[in-house]
Structure 1
């Protein structure tokens, strides 16, 4: 869901001077931090609307916002799409909606930190699946150990919420693979924009049903819209800036910190504290991904 934007034309003598490498790196790091915090803060703000709209209503609003943002960037020429281009777009749309719904439902049941950690197993599995290195096999075992710690039997365990987190992980893995396919068949961000639009249209009756069943308040709608902006539009644009200033490997390495950011935001915004065992499980998943990326030759 990322594309490279062309640099704007120079607008004067000062614009012809390229930025210093250090300044560019700092801009990239700032964009990465902003993207991660924006994404997780958006999810936390969306959770504030759960008592009124429920996860289903919040996801519906988020899909609408994501579609509007991606339509503005991608500007897809839908009438020119062939069936060979449409079918992966339709699959991507279904995965997109299911991923967000399962994640937000998991957040509602087990908290932001644990939900995002379980979801993060999806891209980690994709990264490790094609590898034949022993180190990556060790990383997979480390991540599995972290999951065992997170999902260990205990009286307060919510296995439905954990299962939803794993569904989100499967959807994220499918999302990555489908995005690659769509990117090969449709130029730019047109495919992602088309998928987001189809997903938003599918959620239109859902939004209407939620609004008729539970009268939405202005505060809840504002939280849901904010979640869509912070978790969709802002990270998308920030990632475009990031990938212009930092290597893809560095970007992937930073992405592995998202479960930690989610746990911290969940604690600050939602008051969702975690115990030592949960932090150990999150740390194992993060470390497994970080080691795998940091030792990959590019």
Structure 2
């Protein structure tokens, strides 16, 4: 029983911690690196630094890799880099809330197409309703078309990231994430290099860049892989939809940003959907394990 409780709670804690680190890191990057290096430069710093850190820690080249696994790794790593780059490019021309709302079409689509039982669709509907109340999901026609397209691309890459990451579950989380970030760096760093300058060599900016890399990529991606290894894709996708709710709570606690009754209701719906989906997923995993015995 203690083991079952641990395996039930661990993925939820991993996702909550990932969302918290990502929110703090993104906020730091937005107010420090983004004005200096733009979307491309900030992405290069975030992905490049985190790749170097995890490669030094995990040294994934010590492990063998088959042909099919190499393809999965390329898909996973490419999605890691491109979802970040696309989202940052979207933020240049459309509001943050709109970009997040569009981007979440990715994980919710994964949840919808991965659902098999009626109760699965209930959790998806609750999550979608909560996000609809929490985020500005109104008409996007008057927003910049390029920004909407970049956010839509981020949604696609996020969906690929979830599916491809799930296929890497037989590897150690450190190996998967460090190798994936190396692939991501090969894609986004060349795009960002022209936007970097000598300002990055400033001790304060360099230290900030390291903090952003750790909080926005190295730690969140590792925690998400821990969760992906233990959760069905639809459960992971619904639980990750807690991100806007957690961001709203961080705003309340850290910035004293007051929440409306509608926002509290939205947070409640997303939390219920995430908790219900998690409990159901772990219950099904336990049943499968019992049947195998």
TM-score, with structure 2 as normaliser: 0.69
1:37 aligns with 2:20: yes
- Structure 2 distance, partners of 1:292, 1:36, is 17
1:81 aligns with 2:65: yes
CA offsets, 1:10-31, max 9 Å, x none? xxxxxxxxx9xx99x9999877
How many Å apart are 1:119 and its aligned residue?
A: 3.4
CA offsets, 1:127-172, max 9 Å, x none? 3323232233344445555666632127975565454333323212
Residue 288 of structure 2 corresponds to which residue in structure 1?
none
Residue 161 of structure 2 corresponds to which residue in structure 1?
175
How many Å apart are 1:189 and its aligned residue?
A: 3.8
CA RMSD between the two structures: 4.6
CA offsets, 1:106-134, max 9 Å, x none? 445322x5544543443333233232322
Q: Is the 8 A contact 1:45 1:224 kept in 2?
A: no
In the TM superposition, what are the counterparts of 1:55-74 in structure 2 within 5 Å? 55-74=39-58
- Structure 2 distance, partners of 1:209, 1:271, is 38
Of residues 174, 194, 218, the one that matches 2:179 is: 194
Of residues 201, 206, 213, the one that matches 2:191 is: 206
Q: Is the 8 A contact 1:89 1:195 kept in 2?
A: yes
How many Å apart are 1:192 and its aligned residue?
A: 3.2
Q: Is the 8 A contact 2:41 2:193 kept in 1?
A: no
TM-score, with structure 1 as normaliser: 0.68
SS in 2 for 1:81: coil
- Structure 2 distance, partners of 1:182, 1:118, is 26
The runs of 5 or more residues in structure 2 that have no matched partner are 285-293
Q: Is the 8 A contact 2:242 2:270 kept in 1?
A: no
Q: 1:239 to 1:200 in 2, by over 3 A?
A: closer
How many Å apart are 1:51 and its aligned residue?
A: 1.3
1:164 aligns with 2:150: yes
